[in-house]
Amino acid sequence: MTDALIGKYINGYEILDVVGRGGMATVYRAQQLSMNRVVALKLLPEQFAKDDTYIQRFEQEVEIVSRLEHRNIVPVYDYGQYSGRPYIVMRYMNSGSVDELLRSGPLELDQIVHIYEQIAPALDYAHTRKVLHRDLKPGNVLLDDDGGAYLTDFGIARVLGDQVGPGITTQGVVGTPSYMSPEQAQGQQLDNRSDIYALGVMLFELATGKRPFESDTPYSIAVMQVTTQPPSPRSINPDLSMAVEEVILKSLRKKREERYPHAIGLAEALKRAANLPSGSMHDTQPGGIKIPNRPAPQPLGNPQADSPYAPQYEPQPMVIMQPTSPVGSYPPPAPMSYGPPMTPAPMPTQPPPYTGKRRRRKEGNMFMSAAVGGLLGCAVLIVLVILLILGYIAIQGGFNPGTTVESNGDGTSVSSAPTLDATSQSARDTLIPATPSPLPLGGSPVVNPVGVRATLSLELISRTQTRAMVYFAARGGRSDVYRFDFASGEERQLTFDPNEDNYPQVSPDGTRIVFQSNRDGDFDIYVMDINGDNLRQLTQNTINDRLPAWSWDGQRIVYASDTRGDRKHDIYEMNGDGSDQRLLYTNGLFNSHPRYSPNGQYIVFTTGSDETSSNTFEISRLDLDSGEFLQLTTNTWDDRSPSFSADGNTVLYRTSDGGSARGNAAIALMDIDGSNSRILYDGAGLEWGMSFSPDGGLISFTTSSPTTETDEVFFMLPDGTRFEQVTNFGAMASSWVP
């Protein structure tokens, strides 16, 4: 480039050539004669030369910026004036900017991670010094020959703010509209999360080669920052994983409290999503002082206080009126039902989803057991006598509505379950007695103190090699995960978040628990150790991920995801650490509650037309080797929540026609190809959440307790006989601990 200043001297700096030119400054490569080094000299516009107030403000601002001493912040060496025009002297970065890298298209993911793990600590460091950047963009991230990335131009947007006014352009440094946070575009008070948003816009651009919001005018772009949701990064770059997309979209939330609170948190999430080793990214100041405990985001003070960078965004070049509808709100999570799990996903043209409709509980059921504990002694004795009689009946012969007992001819008997007839409603009704007897209990159903349960029948427990079970319970207005040990009869609470933690599944080796939680605003998948320690979030997005389950070897997790936000779910799979999230099945309909077969060949799941049409719910099977889809049930009933037997030859599921005399659910069984369907058990309540123990010795399920009317966990034998209530204070959807 030709320029009149080339070859001239500015206060001890020889101007060598022009590095770049923008609307708000010209950058020159210069030789500092006193130090014999090459530097970058940024000369600001002439329009500021005659404004004494501005010159004073400029010197104050640059002095503050020059105190930022971080290995990944371009140092400011000097500042002054030339013919009344302010200039700043900085370290010269000879490899250009990240903006120049983008000219060849999107960057490789590992290269993006490498850049972010350098600039994120630098940004957080500046924030702890009450300095906002206000103009983060690829052009303000400079590079050196060794792959180092450096932030530059801290606070210059604020320095120029009062003078520029509405004459802002996309090339100016007064908060570039394409990277402005919604609150910056509206002239609101800013904190560090405004820079996090700009970091997210830049991440979107580096990963896709495009900015999330593009338009003909800066004003219209700023309006889009406030009112328009960003497009899916994967719709632009299909090579991106769902996990990386989740990180990008979280950083671009319209509401600042929904973004990452700090830059390092964003960088660490990106590193995990990229399936790279996620070491701790602590920052260090020049003196070696660590900053691992970053403060919660707060507005950075008063403009007239210690730092002019802290305050409100004074320039207000674009005041965007607040939209009448909420900005940045994604579809709310579907109502949580503690009955049959609400699941995700679609496929070619198969039937619908299941809504998780369950028997409506009476208010206060959750606390019924506590009330029982306070009854008068005589009343308790009466109840115990009645329950012991029921237990005796169960031990003597058991009771199973819908199951007949036939003689083998050798003095023994064998249970024969009725076959499901999908062609006749009347035939279906005959399988469900209109006046069922109460569910008998094999153990003593006495009410014990919280945390202690009645000892289970040794004979029944001897049928399985498992040592404990994990379940979730809704108590005190919240839902948490619990573990119940068979030997001691003791229960231990594992999660304590005030939001919903539910549908836990124990890994095959018994060391980890995966579950769903809405603790970040929507349901995501989490994993923790079997004792509740070492909690990790595996999915992180703005949609609902539900009902996870482990593969037979504990290496992978399958789950349902509301990918499009339309409450029609797809089936996804990921590694046990949350990496390599990938789509397994979609058909544009509702697919949910996926479960692996023991040999890893199949996944069975609930499928339907949509989440609200439970009469269309059917059980389907996906062959993971061939990709073949097979619908196993074909009727007008509500079939859902399948799982495999221990040998993988049969599928256990819940069925309900909704039109029988009882109108509730039953536990059914069928062969792996959908044949030989039969009702295994149909009690007085709504049965759901059933699964075989890993060794096949028992089946656990959830149904209403005949004494407290709360949902509790029960055991029965695989032939549908011998029932025993396990919990007394509310428990649902149990999973076995090997």
The DSSP secondary structure of 236-273, one letter per residue, reads: H-TTS-HHHHHHHHHHT-SSGGGS-SSHHHHHHHHHHH
- The answer to whether residues 699 and 562 belong to one domain is yes
Kindly indicate the confidence band of residue 615, based on its pLDDT and cuts at 50, 70 and 90. confident
pLDDT digits (tens, 9 = 90+) for 8-25: 999 999 999 998 886 567
pLDDT digits (tens, 9 = 90+) for 569-581: 999 999 999 998 9
CA distances from 102 to 177, 239, 335 (A): 19, 17, 43
Q: Give the pLDDT of residue 124.
A: 93
pLDDT digits (tens, 9 = 90+) for 74-132: 998 998 888 878 899 999 998 989 999 999 999 999 999 999 999 999 999 999 888 88
Read off φ and ψ for residue 153, nearest 5 degrees.
65, 35
Maximum pairwise Cα distance, the chain: 113
pLDDT digits (tens, 9 = 90+) for 678-693: 999 888 788 899 999 9
* % the chain with pLDDT above 90: 43
308 assigned to some structural domain: no
Average confidence (pLDDT) over 214-230: 91
Residue 560, Cβ density class (10 Å: 0-12 exposed, 13-18 middle, ≥19 buried): buried
Q: Give the pLDDT of residue 410.
A: 37
Q: Give the pLDDT of residue 429.
A: 37
Least confident of 212-221, 463-472, 606-615: 606-615
- Asked whether the predicted pLDDT for residue 379 surpasses 80, the reply is no
Q: What angle do CA 481, 495, 373 make, to 5 degrees?
A: 65
Q: What angle do CA 724, 730, 733 make, to 5 degrees?
A: 75
Average confidence (pLDDT) over 437-445: 30
- The answer to whether residues 56 and 115 belong to one domain is no
The answer for residues whose C-beta is within 8 angstroms of residue 105's C-beta and 6 or more apart is 209
- Asked whether the predicted pLDDT for residue 406 surpasses 80, the reply is no
159 assigned to some structural domain: yes
Q: Give the pLDDT of residue 169.
A: 31
Q: In terms of Cα–Cα distance, which of 193, 207, 204, 212 is closest to 263? A: 193
Most confident of 63-77, 172-186, 198-212, 484-498: 198-212
Residue 41's DSSP bridge partners are: 28, 89
* % the chain with pLDDT above 70: 68
Gap between the Cα atoms of 253 and 197, Å rounded: 8
Q: Give the pLDDT of residue 659.
A: 43
Give the chain's mean pLDDT.
75
Average confidence (pLDDT) over 23-49: 85
- Asked whether the predicted pLDDT for residue 370 surpasses 60, the reply is no
Average confidence (pLDDT) over 388-415: 37
Q: In terms of Cα–Cα distance, which of 197, 91, 104 is closest to 151? A: 91
Kindly indicate the confidence band of residue 315, based on its pLDDT and cuts at 50, 70 and 90. very low
Kindly indicate the confidence band of residue 49, based on its pLDDT and cuts at 50, 70 and 90. low
pLDDT digits (tens, 9 = 90+) for 545-576: 999 999 989 999 999 999 888 888 999 999 99
Using the 3D structure, point to which of 256, 273, 290 is the last residue of a domain. 273
Residue with the larger pLDDT of the pair 38 and 415? 38
360 assigned to some structural domain: no
Q: For residue 297, how many C-alpha atoms fall within 13 Å in the half-sphere facing its CB? A: 18
CATH number at residue 49: 3.30.200.20
Residue with the larger pLDDT of the pair 257 and 438? 257
- The tally of domains found in the chain comes to 3
Gap between the Cα atoms of 56 and 53, Å rounded: 5
Kindly indicate the confidence band of residue 3, based on its pLDDT and cuts at 50, 70 and 90. confident
- The answer to whether residues 516 and 412 belong to one domain is yes
- The answer to whether residues 22 and 125 belong to one domain is no
Q: Give the pLDDT of residue 187.
A: 84
361 assigned to some structural domain: no
Kindly indicate the confidence band of residue 277, based on its pLDDT and cuts at 50, 70 and 90. low
Gap between the Cα atoms of 28 and 42, Å rounded: 6
CATH number at residue 691: 2.120.10.30
- The answer to whether residues 259 and 159 belong to one domain is yes
Gap between the Cα atoms of 656 and 638, Å rounded: 5
Domain interval for residue 107: 98-273
- The answer to whether residues 559 and 708 belong to one domain is yes
Residue 28's DSSP bridge partners are: 18, 41
CATH number at residue 113: 1.10.510.10
Which H, E and C letters describe 609-623, residue by residue?
CCCCCHHHCEEEEEE
Q: Give the pLDDT of residue 556.
A: 96
Read off φ and ψ for residue 375, nearest 5 degrees.
-65, 160
408 assigned to some structural domain: yes
263-273 and 242-251 helices, crossing angle to 10°: 170
Structure tokens at 450: 């919280």
Q: In terms of Cα–Cα distance, which of 605, 563, 612 is closest to 588? A: 563
The residue type of 337 is S
Using the 3D structure, point to which of 225, 242, 273 is the last residue of a domain. 273
- Asked whether the predicted pLDDT for residue 328 surpasses 70, the reply is no
The answer for residues whose C-beta is within 8 angstroms of residue 83's C-beta and 6 or more apart is 49
The DSSP secondary structure of 549-583, one letter per residue, reads: EE-TTSSEEEEEE-TTSSS--EEEEEETTS-S-EE
Residue 385, Cβ density class (10 Å: 0-12 exposed, 13-18 middle, ≥19 buried): exposed
Gap between the Cα atoms of 102 and 97, Å rounded: 9
- The answer to whether residues 130 and 102 belong to one domain is yes
- The answer to whether residues 214 and 124 belong to one domain is yes
Helix (H, G, I), strand (E, B), or coil: what is residue 726? coil
Residue pair 608/617 in contact (Cβ under 8 Å)? The answer is yes
- Asked whether the predicted pLDDT for residue 293 surpasses 60, the reply is no
429 assigned to some structural domain: no
Q: Give the pLDDT of residue 667.
A: 93
- Asked whether the predicted pLDDT for residue 422 surpasses 70, the reply is no
- The answer to whether residues 609 and 462 belong to one domain is yes
- The answer to whether residues 608 and 696 belong to one domain is yes
Q: In what order do the strands lie in the sheet with 478-485?
A: 491-493, 478-485, 468-475, 732-737
- The answer to whether residues 583 and 656 belong to one domain is yes
Using the 3D structure, point to which of 254, 273, 292 is the last residue of a domain. 273
295 assigned to some structural domain: no
List the catalytic residues. Answer: 135
Q: Give the pLDDT of residue 401.
A: 33
Q: Give the pLDDT of residue 109.
A: 95
306 assigned to some structural domain: no
Q: Give the pLDDT of residue 457.
A: 56
- The answer to whether residues 626 and 506 belong to one domain is yes
Residue pair 248/200 in contact (Cβ under 8 Å)? The answer is yes
